Amino acid sequence: MDLELRQAGPAETATDPDTGTTTLAYDHRDRPLTSTNACGITVWSGYDELSRPTQQRLGGSSGTLLAEYTYDTVSVGPTVKGVESGDEIRLRPVP
């Protein structure tokens, strides 16, 4: 995999021989804001005040909701809620 770096900060593009080139854009806190794959599909990511991911949407901040992440007050990881099924999956850190 090849990465193209900015002068300061994280990679702007990543090229994989199997999936092609992915272009990344970042917000003012260097959090990945959008990711556009080789097919031109863009996924936008939203964050809370602690820089934790809260949403992923197709195309931009008002696009189709792909995933939504909520957090409790105990440090066991985020809860991921399936958009289609509504099922919740608890992610826990590996010790």
pLDDT in tens, 61-95: 999 999 999 887 665 566 666 655 556 665 555 55
CA distance 79 to 68: 9
Which pTM does this prediction carry?
0.67
CA distance 58 to 71: 22
Question: Which residue, 24, 26, 28, is CA-closest to 36?
Answer: 24
Q: Where are the domains of the chain?
A: 2-88
36, pLDDT greater than 80: yes
Write down the mean pLDDT value for the chain.
Answer: 81
- Which residues, in sequence order, are bridge partners of residue 57? 44, 65
pLDDT band at 4 (very low <50, low <70, confident <90, very high): low
Return the structure tokens found at 23. 């272009």
